[in-house]
Structure 1
Amino acid sequence: MPLLVASAAVTLAALATVQAAPASPAPATIAIPLEKRVVPDDHRLVNEQGVVNFAVLDQTLSNLKGKYAQTGQAAERNVGHRPFASGNSRRLARRLARRASTGSESLSSYQNDNLWAGRISIGTPAQSFLMDFDTGSSDLWVPSSQCTTSACSGKDKYSASSSSTSQAQSGKQLNVQYGDGSTASGPVYSDSVTIGGLTATGQTFGTATTLTGNFGSSPSDGLVGMAYPALSQLQVSPFFNTLWSEGHVARNVFSFRLAAGNSAPSELYLGGLNSAKFVAGTTGYTPVISQSYWAINTNVQVNGQSVSGLGTLNAIADTGTTLIVVPTADAQTFWSSVPGAAPYSGGGGYYTFPCNSAPSVTFQFPGSSTKWPVPYLNLGTVSYGSSQCVGAIVGQDSGLNAWILGDSFLKGVYSTFDFANNRVGFSKLA
């Protein structure tokens, strides 16, 4: 998960301009197909027999902690506070600071069963990259053509010297560190970045001349962060915000359809909502409560009943996270309301439940009476032939007093991220 570092000269006032209306009429919306990329079996959360790989789960959660500690640091620098900071958020930040002498930002975890990735191009002439799109971070990162480490093998790489529109950003440095020790580092550039025929000019991004560890196992080349500018380690406009401010999209809104299995094509839709992907009249919006992450409030129910001890919760909609990761105490309270559930014997914040009696779990958001189900609560079995399954709601002190709603929830809804009205929408899938 990358850590992007910058001694940026961009002011917060300049960052705020990315939300301003475009100077000229914007074109229509555009759909970006997302490819499903299968990772090697030993890097999957669940193997072909449906058994959970706890080592990969551990690594995923370690990366997640790093990601939120680092984006929290960026928010504190950019807007003066860490959103939803819990008591251990600064301890996590100090631990990361000991690993790397510079500030940093995290890429989304690549250790998923499947990844949803789409194509962008950078430079003049265009250089193509397969990228993950992450609503839990704000910066853009790709490998460099100068990378000589084995982890770069097989990846598309950015060549600054081959682009007539490339400009080096002196004083800035990409410095990436996963929770497992994998690293990436290199210079920062600005260049034209294009997706689906829409071009953001002068977009700032990091490039890696060195990659080590598990970066090499990722089927994607890099990441496009799509959260608010407050999380930008580079203190620059995120890619979608640049598209909007330059007048390239019809609305300051984007949406995701993240498909499970082979149920339907996955898609990122820029500039609005794709009416073919959801049921008309089912969209419910809830206000953003912190313009940093896509942060909202929610309530959770088990088998139709509110969970005693869990009232209104902070939550973050994060396409770069596989699981639903919650504070440890909340996980204990939640799973105590599930019949037959118990802490996993190996620890780690995981919980198990009888495979033949999975609970019905729903979330309800302010502004709508709809209760949205979690159809992918079951990650897989504890072991081959076991009758115990592992729950996707995991207890972990990530430094946030918030529930991180990853793909285990988002695959079950059509999700809309609305900068114009500072709100998140969920719709029933078509």
Structure 2
Amino acid sequence: MMIIPVTMAHHLQNIFSLYPNISNFMTMQLSRSGFGMVDGGVFTIGEIDPNYTAIANSPKLQVISHGMWFTLVDGMLINGTMYSGHGNSSSVLEGLDPSSLVAVLDSGTSLVSVPPYYTDLIYKDIPRAEPFAILPGYYKLPCDTKLNVSVVFFGQEYLIHPLDLMTIFTYNGTDICLSTFLSSNDSDKNMNLGDSFMRNIYTLFNFGNFTRSSDENPYIQLLSVTDKDVACITNNIQSLGPAVARNVTSDDSTAASTSPSPNLHTLLRNSDIIIGMLVIIAMLLLVVMVLLVRNQMKVFSRSNLKGYNAVSNLVGPLDRKTQFTYDTPYHS
């Protein structure tokens, strides 16, 4: 599920209507640990995370459609060179330059889709890189590839961590590296910026007159959270090792429909471990039940082996004459 479609706007509109004193914006940031793996995040309604207050000074990106959070992108900075245009956005807003790039921020998508022009600029000239025929739109890459890519909004550069530009995928039992920026010719949203981009920013969505007619137009603010110097230390996915790198670009969100299949070998291995533990627990429970039953049977058997024992006569020998004689004889 996207974080910014009309459906969520309706849910938040109810919240903002019930609580008019709450500022009608939400913020989100998908974080990563020092080892490069996905690790928690931030989601707020009506307030800014104290660690990212600088976002209040970020440019306000205009929302260019009604009900959806489309905004314009200047272009992409790829290995030090700025590229722009090559969009196809005439269906989004009348009067918009058809070559303009329109983007939507989507935390429900693991990867990023952009026009083929940009995927080719990022990956095509990498030595030994080639389109991956099994999954159209992907590039197969050397795992030691070093990339420097940013998305530019309103003159501001938002660096993408090199670990977010590739992902490890197991194919025929072999780990290979694939691109996380995929080719797409979507004319509504030229760039669908999923988690591979959103992990690098703190984002504020101000609903404005989406929810309150008296408010200003809705807008988006972004704050870069990827440290360029730190990103250069882990400048290729292979440097973390396959076990860690495979999890770098995975998250708890619903994967895009074009995402690679999960690592079935790992899933099956983990399933075998879990099943094995369940079998051991079941066997232990069975042994305990058998021991309990045997113990109860022994107790029951001992009580039966004693046989029948006559009850002692507490009143002494039976004296029928004494006990059954009338005091006064009966005479007919």
Match of 2:259 in 1: none
Q: Larger % of strand: which?
A: 1
Which among 130, 148, 168 is matched to residue 342 of structure 1? 130
CA distance in structure 1 between the aligned counterparts of 2:85 and 2:124, rounded to whole angstroms? 11
Q: Would the aligned equivalents of 1:379 and 1:389 in 2 still touch at CA under 8 Å?
A: yes
CA distance in structure 1 between the aligned counterparts of 2:12 and 2:161, rounded to whole angstroms? 28
What are the ranges of 5 or more consecutive residues in structure 1 without an aligned counterpart?
Answer: 1-107, 109-133, 140-224, 227-237
Match of 1:393 in 2: 181
Q: Would the aligned equivalents of 2:104 and 2:189 in 1 still touch at CA under 8 Å?
A: no
Q: Would the aligned equivalents of 1:307 and 1:334 in 2 still touch at CA under 8 Å?
A: no
Match of 2:82 in 1: 306
Match of 1:275 in 2: 50
Q: Secondary structure at the match of 2:71?
A: strand
Identity %: 21
CA distance in structure 2 between the aligned counterparts of 1:314 and 1:137, rounded to whole angstroms? 15
Moved over 6 A (4+): none
Match of 2:249 in 1: none
CA pair 408-247 structure 1, distance change in 2 beyond 3 A: same
The answer to whether residue 61 in structure 2 is matched with residue 286 in structure 1 is yes
CA distance in structure 2 between the aligned counterparts of 1:333 and 1:269, rounded to whole angstroms? 36
Which among 373, 381, 397 is matched to residue 160 of structure 2? 373
* Pairwise CA distance, 1:347: 3.7
Q: Larger % of helix: which?
A: 2
What are the ranges of 5 or more consecutive residues in structure 2 without an aligned counterpart?
Answer: 87-98, 209-216, 227-332
CA pair 243-315 structure 1, distance change in 2 beyond 3 A: same
Match of 2:5 in 1: 137
CA pair 316-349 structure 1, distance change in 2 beyond 3 A: same
Match of 2:15 in 1: 243
* Structure showing greater Rg: 2
Q: Deviations over 1:278-314 (max 9, x none)?
A: 6567734322122332111111121121237747411
CA distance in structure 2 between the aligned counterparts of 1:137 and 1:345, rounded to whole angstroms? 32
Match of 2:293 in 1: none
CA distance in structure 2 between the aligned counterparts of 1:417 and 1:346, rounded to whole angstroms? 37
Match of 1:257 in 2: 29
Match of 1:404 in 2: 192
CA distance in structure 2 between the aligned counterparts of 1:256 and 1:408, rounded to whole angstroms? 14
Q: Secondary structure at the match of 1:273?
A: coil
Q: Would the aligned equivalents of 1:381 and 1:390 in 2 still touch at CA under 8 Å?
A: yes
Q: Would the aligned equivalents of 1:303 and 1:361 in 2 still touch at CA under 8 Å?
A: yes
CA distance in structure 2 between the aligned counterparts of 1:380 and 1:302, rounded to whole angstroms? 22
CA pair 254-304 structure 1, distance change in 2 beyond 3 A: same
CA pair 338-371 structure 1, distance change in 2 beyond 3 A: farther
CA distance in structure 2 between the aligned counterparts of 1:318 and 1:293, rounded to whole angstroms? 11
CA distance in structure 2 between the aligned counterparts of 1:300 and 1:328, rounded to whole angstroms? 13
* Pairwise CA distance, 1:327: 3.8
TM-score normalised by length of structure 2? 0.52
Q: Would the aligned equivalents of 1:278 and 1:428 in 2 still touch at CA under 8 Å?
A: no
* Pairwise CA distance, 1:405: 0.5
For 2:22, give the aligned amino acid: A
CA distance in structure 1 between the aligned counterparts of 2:54 and 2:174, rounded to whole angstroms? 38
* Pairwise CA distance, 1:393: 0.7
Q: Secondary structure at the match of 1:290?
A: coil
CA distance in structure 2 between the aligned counterparts of 1:244 and 1:308, rounded to whole angstroms? 37
CA distance in structure 2 between the aligned counterparts of 1:345 and 1:358, rounded to whole angstroms? 23
CA pair 382-390 structure 1, distance change in 2 beyond 3 A: farther
TM-score normalised by length of structure 1? 0.41
Q: Deviations over 1:330-363 (max 9, x none)?
A: 5445543555532113142111222112311100
Q: Secondary structure at the match of 1:416?
A: strand
